[in-house]
Amino acid sequence: MNFALILFVLLLISGALWALDHFVARKQRGAGAPPPWWVEYGASFFPVILVVFCLRSFVVEPFKIPSGSMLPTLLVGDFILVNKWTYGIRLPVINKKIVDINQPRRGDVMVFRFPADPSLDYIKRVVGLPGDKVEYLDKKLVINGVEMPQRPDGDFLHPDALDPSRQGDGKGADRQTRMFSPRFIEKLGDVEHSILIEPDVPSFVSQVVQFPQRENCTYTSRGVSCTVPEGHYFMMGDNRDGSFDSRGWGFVPDANIVGKAFFIWFNFNDLKRIGSFH
């Protein structure tokens, strides 16, 4: 569902009714006469819809985390806010940039439209910038020949590990039902953040689809090496062995950027989650 388009249509309809009432109908009805139903239930909502549309289009937009690909940084069920203007001002609905402000930086957590299906919003971490050579070999991240530092940081207890309703059937490796995963602190540019790495999961990329400029990537049993095209970004989830990301489906065009995630504003299961994150 394209909520931005629906909101835009409601804005046009309510705005047209408001203009009709303000410039035409109001002058024709007598003083003190009650407004017709189409004013009460249509035009009166125009200011509210206008404020919501502007805030959501140009300032901040709320999202809910649907999967565990960004564990341990973001949990399933986190409600987050996304800064819509930090990477430039874009026209609503068509997402065309009209004012350039900042460029994405390595380490940013970014929401974007999934290249293969722009109706879907994805959230991952920016790993590779335009022109970068990104290598993820033997579960080590190397950018332009420099290995990104990692250090152990104990174990991460999966929130669903003790919930029987979320357990698998015991056949094969179900990453969503692991109890603990090794956690590491990775430094990516100026940003230090947590990642999860499963030592018993093979290093090769198990799921790869056809995508534009796939020839920029080389796949081996050790992992993947890609050169990021101009105007594109290489995205990865912090749950490195539980994320379907640029390693499998390719690069994110600048035109698909939605904004920078910066704040957890609610989580029904854990109010302590409220706050900023890296």
- What are the C-alpha distances in Å from 41 to residues 25, 36, 37? 15, 9, 6
SS (H, E, C) the chain: CCHHHHHHHHHHHHHHHHHHHHHHHHHHCCCCCCCCHHHHCCHHHHHHHHHHHHHHHHCEEEEECCCCCCCCCCCCCCEEEEECCCCCEECCCCCCEEECCCCCCCCCEEEEECCCCCCCEEEEEEEECCCCEEEEECCEEEECCEECCEEEEEEEECCCCCCHHHCCCCCCCCHHHCCEEEEEEEEECCEEEEEECCCCCCCCCCCCCCCCCHHHEEEECCEEEEECCCCEEEEECCECCCCCCHHHHCCEEHHHEEEEEEEEEECCCCHHHCEECC
168, two tokens = 């698998």
Q: CB count, 10 Å around CB of 75?
A: 18
Catalytic machinery residues? 69, 124
217, two tokens = 């990537």
80, 260 Cβ separation under 8 angstroms: no
Whole-angstrom Cα distance, residue 225 to residue 238? 18
